[in-house]
Structure 1
Amino acid sequence: MAGVRTIKITGQDIHQYLDKLAALRIEVFRHFPYLYDGSQAYEKKYLQTYAKANGSAIILATEQEEVVGASTCIPLSEETSALKQSFKNTAYNMDEIMFFGESVLKETYRGRGIGVEFFRQREGHARQLEKKYATFCAVQRTSNHPLRPAGYQSLHNFWKKRGYTPLPQVSTQMEWKDVDQSEESSKTLNFWIKKLV
């Protein structure tokens, strides 16, 4: 992580980074497996959630004045009804769960321990709020997807090394427009979870 520093921002401090965070999400999520064809306006509106929600935080990775990565977390109880609904019929108490929204990092900064630091700081924030679990969801793509790059490796092993396990019975549906599509389509995202205490 030489030359890169990470900082945690919360509440109204998030507003000054909205443009940079929106652009970063569009850049990173455009690639497989998300293939997300995003817009600056939608992204800024989405990120407002973190500025308004109680207990949310964004971990920024910066080099000099450039934002090169970001990782978000928010209490599950502050998330959308669709995400909360995914846990409705489980044994988990929603008030005890911190939801990790995303980690986005410019390609040239990967493999330098920044992703590990994102998880460490988000888990630390969750523990400060006395959350018992951390969870996130990831999009499912077929192994023969036409836009899957040769040699692509999923992050499953990375997540397992961080202590996360799949929740095979818990999933959610989200819609967005893929880079090779003309309209939005529904995607399945499956959850992973880790006990923090």
Structure 2
Amino acid sequence: MSTRIEILTGEALGAALEDLARLRIEVFRAWPYLYEGSMDYERGYLERYEKTKGAVIVGAFDGDRLVGAATGEPLEEEVIQFRAPFEDKGLDPKTIFYLAESVLLPAYRGQGIGHRFFDEREAHARRLGFQATAFCAVVRPDSHPLRPADYQPLDDFWKKRGYDKLNGVRVHFPWRDVGEEHETEKPMQVWMRHL
């Protein structure tokens, strides 16, 4: 499949938010996120990117269709649930660029797009003068009943890109799991690298 990568900021970023919302709902519904999303929630959650100086979406397009996207913004602009664990560890959010969601439809995986998502966001962070990049990954127990038998964690991929788990630093963020009535907080491990 032929895809093109575009760096979206400003008006182009704003124009992509609706498609990003749909992608997040579809991709994050699968393991390990199991996210039961809604467009109403997504619109409110994602609108901050449009208002944040330095925010970026790296979009993967098949023709005019957004089939994957990775976002980022200065950590100091993130919601408190994401900032506070860094601050508690003595890290300055002003020096860290936060790599938020990375979603790609299954049919487009294994083509190097995930690497491009990291390459382009890291390059964007360097241009803005950030010293490090960081992201969070949900932590689910191996014994979880919905864990697929063939699930392969992305830890090795992230390590090859120079990321390490930041010991003792976890974000806790609520969402509703597929099939559940109410939101519950999920632990997410922070990974970071210096640029």
Per the TM superposition, whether the score is higher than 0.5 is yes
How far apart in 2 are the matches of 1:180 and 1:119? Answer: 32
Aligned partner of 2:84 in structure 1 is 85
Question: What residue identity is the alignment partner of 1:111?
Answer: G
Which residue in the other structure is 1:159 paired with? 158
Find the aligned partners of 2:63 and 2:190 in 1 and give their Cα distance: 35
Q: For 1:37, give the aligned amino acid.
A: E
Contact kept, 8 Å, 1:8 with 1:59, in 2: the verdict is yes
Q: What residue is the counterpart of 1:131 in the other structure?
A: 130
1:1-197 matches, within 5 Å, as 3-196=2-195
1:193 maps to amino acid: M
Instruction: Please identify, of 103-112 and 2-11, the stretch whose mean Cα deviation from structure 2 is larger.
Output: 2-11
TM-score, normalised with respect to structure 2: 0.97
In structure 2, distance between residues paired with 1:67 and 1:159: 24
Letter in 1 for 2:62: E
**CA–CA separation in structure 2 for the residues paired with 1:123 and 1:115:** 12
1:103-143 Cα shifts (integer Å, max 9, x gaps): 10000000000000000000000000010000000110000
Query: How far apart are the structure 2 equivalents of 1:97 and 1:19?
Result: 27
Q: Could you tell me how far 1:188 is from its partner in structure 2?
A: 0.5
Give % identity: 44
Give the paired residue count: 195
> Contact conserved, 1:35 with 1:179, CA < 8 A, in 2?
yes
Q: CA deviation at 1:91?
A: 3.5
Deviations 1:48-78 (A, max 9, x none): 1111101110000001111000000000011
5+ residue gaps, structure 1, are none
Report SS of the residue matched to 1:21. helix
Question: Which secondary structure does the structure 2 equivalent of 1:68 belong to?
Answer: strand
Give the CA RMSD over aligned residues: 1.0
Distance of 1:65 and 1:157 partners within structure 2: 32
Question: What is the distance in 1 between the residues matched to 2:131 and 2:16?
Answer: 29
Q: Is the 8 A contact 1:8 1:58 kept in 2?
A: yes
Structure 1 residue identity aligned to 2:53: N
